């Protein structure tokens, strides 16, 4: 039996702002429990809904030093779907109504979390063979592990993995301040360690000190070795290429199942799509759009940022809205995008619905009730939304980058194969061309559309398969 501790800043169902939470909350369920004891550790944010917090069981508390402060660390535990979750408690850092705040606060918050997480292990009596870190918030863990903890007998031989869910976010802050906060000695702040371009960089520390580095798709693992996608760390990624690999995410197919999903009004399956038509009508009705079966509904569920290609969408939206289509958007993010979409919804009330909010239930209703899912990302480490939409028979139109390239097979009109539509050249022109191709198949080739839906809904996006690559990785390490 091998012990693994997966540490992250968010995990479903407790707290979620993006795909990281889906991965941290669902992957651990899928390991063979006779071979791996995989547990998860996240902060005990006060914004975790009370229905979960009230069930958490107090385990222990102690104090650690951080900068000039001595800080309380509480540890709570909750078993959820057969997985043990630990929660690090400290309301000074994890209070407030959202998990992240300003970067300078987060820099100290996650230094605390990293040190507290490692310090808690002997107290909990859980010695992981592998600590699996995720994104910059946990980047200091491999560093601390090497620098101070590995001298203790308990920690000797513990391996670490750093998984990059998005290289754009690195946890960069003033070097002097980070030295002060972390208490790490000067020699850790050189350009081959934590320093990058005169600042301190948490993710870089994790990448340098982890035993293995992974990212969430094979294509992205290659892309980040190039200056275009490398976010200034492409040199480091090339230097670490001998320990770097890409493992495509899965999705929680138990929860995300059109036959049982409790968030959608009508259920359906690949053999009987009649429920999907009803979900479409229900979505149109809920959002105040004309209830019409024949009109193609294009959905988007996303953070509204440049990464997701929204400048292309906003630039082309007038153009797209000249077609007989309906567009449903759910997302929050940059205010420019929020305002633009709200404006279009106002200008085209019969065709466009902009929902500037975070709503998990509406997200599922969009995956289920739309015909097409638009996701023209400028870069995409993996992307989960396109897999979710395919699982619900909603065909994605995507750019061929990162995980989108690895998970969406473009339609081949000769063989009828494919699970969606994609374009290689990142431009508004090609996005519209590809969307029009999808609309043409939808409107004029019903049999081909059905076949594509069948292909998409039966493709294996489950963690049952995706987790096997992590099993291999864990086995190689211990
Ligand atoms: P990223 O992690 O880059 O934001 P992913 O596609 O990997 O993108 O994952 C996004 C996840 O967040 C999906 O589960 C998606 O459904 C969800 N999501 C994004 N925006 C919203 C929103 N406004 N309301 C509900 N869920 C959302």
Mutate which of 8, 18, 304 for ligand 1? The one with the most ligand atoms within 8 Å of its CB, which is 18
Instruction: Detail the DSSP E strand segments found in 44-168.
Output: 57-66, 69-80, 83-89, 130-134, 159-164
| Look-up of token digits 């567009």 | 327
Give the global pTM.
Answer: 0.95
**Ligand 1 atom closest to Cα of 380?**
3
Distance CA 230, CA 207 (A): 13
Each of the 478 residues of the chain gets a pLDDT tens digit; together they read: 999 999 999 999 999 998 899 999 999 999 999 999 999 999 999 999 999 999 999 999 999 999 888 999 999 999 999 999 999 999 999 999 999 998 889 999 999 999 999 999 999 999 999 999 999 999 999 999 998 898 899 999 999 999 999 999 999 999 999 999 999 999 999 999 999 999 999 999 999 999 999 999 999 999 999 999 999 999 999 999 999 999 999 999 999 999 999 999 999 999 999 999 999 999 999 999 999 999 999 999 999 999 999 999 999 999 999 999 999 999 999 999 999 999 999 999 999 999 999 999 999 999 999 999 999 999 999 999 999 999 999 999 999 999 999 999 999 999 999 999 999 999 999 999 999 999 999 999 999 999 999 999 999 999 998 899 999 999 999 9
Pocket test for ligand 1, best of 167, 379, 385, 466 (most atoms within 8 A of CB): 385
Asked whether the CA dihedral 390, 465, 27, 468 is positive or negative, the reply is: negative
| Continuous segment of H or E residues that includes residue 220 | helix 218-223
Whether the Cβ atoms of residue 207 and residue 136 lie closer than 8 Å to each other: no
Cα dihedral 340, 342, 347, 350 in deg (nearest 10): 130
d(CA 407, CA 422): 11
The answer to whether 370 touches 270, Cβ cutoff 8 Å, is no
How far apart CA 243 and CA 240 sit, in angstroms, is 6
Dist. CA 478–CA 470, nearest whole Å: 12
Question: CB of 363 closer than 6 A to ligand 1?
Answer: yes
Ligand 1 centre distance from Cα of residue 328 (Å): 15
CB 385 near ligand 1, within 6 Å: yes
Q: Which atom of ligand 1 is nearest to the CA of 330?
A: 23
């Amino acid at each position: 039996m091998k012990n693994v501790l997966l540490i992250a800043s968010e995990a479903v169902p407790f707290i979620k702002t993006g795909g990281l939470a889906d991965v941290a909350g669902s992957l651990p369920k899928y390991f063979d429990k006779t071979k791996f004891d995989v547990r998860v550790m996240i902060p005990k944010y006060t914004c975790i809904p009370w229905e979960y917090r009230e069930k958490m069981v107090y385990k222990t508390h102690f104090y650690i030093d951080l900068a000039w402060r001595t800080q309380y660390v509480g540890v709570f535990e909750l078993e959820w779907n057969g997985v043990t979750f630990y929660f690090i408690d400290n309301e000074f850092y994890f209070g407030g109504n959202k998990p992240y705040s300003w970067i300078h606060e987060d820099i100290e918050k996650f230094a605390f979390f990293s040190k507290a997480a490692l310090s808690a292990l002997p107290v909990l009596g859980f010695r992981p063979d592998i600590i699996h870190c995720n994104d910059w918030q946990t980047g200091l863990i491999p560093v601390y592990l090497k620098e101070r903890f590995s001298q203790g007998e308990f920690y000797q031989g513990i391996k670490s993995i750093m998984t990059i869910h998005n290289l754009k976010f690195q946890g960069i802050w003033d070097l002097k301040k980070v030295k002060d906060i972390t208490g790490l000695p000067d020699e850790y702040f050189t350009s081959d360690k934590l320093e990058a371009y005169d600042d301190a960089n948490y993710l870089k520390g994790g990448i340098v000190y982890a035993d293995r580095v992974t990212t969430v798709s094979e294509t992205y693992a290659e892309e980040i070795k190039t200056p275009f996608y490398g976010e200034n760390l492409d040199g480091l990624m090339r230097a670490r290429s001998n320990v770097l690999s890409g493992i495509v995410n899965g999705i929680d197919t138990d929860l995300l199942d059109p036959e049982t999903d409790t968030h959608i009004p009508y259920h359906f399956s690949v053999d009987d799509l009649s429920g999907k038509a009803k979900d479409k009508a229900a979505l149109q009705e809920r959002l105040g759009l004309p209830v019409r079966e024949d009109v193609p509904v294009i959905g988007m569920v996303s953070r509204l940022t440049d990464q997701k290609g929204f400048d292309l969408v906003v630039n082309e939206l007038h153009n797209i809205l000249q077609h007989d289509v309906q567009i449903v958007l759910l997302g929050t993010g940059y205010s420019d995008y929020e305002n633009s979409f709200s404006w279009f919804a106002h200008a085209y009330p019969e065709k466009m619905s902009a929902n500037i909010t975070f709503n998990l239930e509406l997200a599922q209703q969009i995956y289920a009730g739309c015909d097409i899912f638009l996701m023209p990302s400028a870069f995409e480490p993996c992307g989960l939304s396109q897999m979710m939409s395919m699982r619900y028979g909603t065909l994605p139109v995507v750019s061929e980058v990162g995980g989108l390239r690895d998970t969406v097979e473009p339609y081949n009109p000769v063989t009828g194969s494919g699970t969606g539509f994609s374009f290689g050249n990142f431009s508004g022109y090609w996005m519209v061309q590809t969307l029009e191709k999808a609309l043409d198949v939808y409107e004029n080739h019903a049999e081909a559309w059905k076949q594509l839906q069948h292909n998409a809904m039966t493709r294996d996006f489950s963690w049952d398969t995706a987790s096997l690559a992590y099993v291999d990785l864990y086995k190689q390490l211990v």
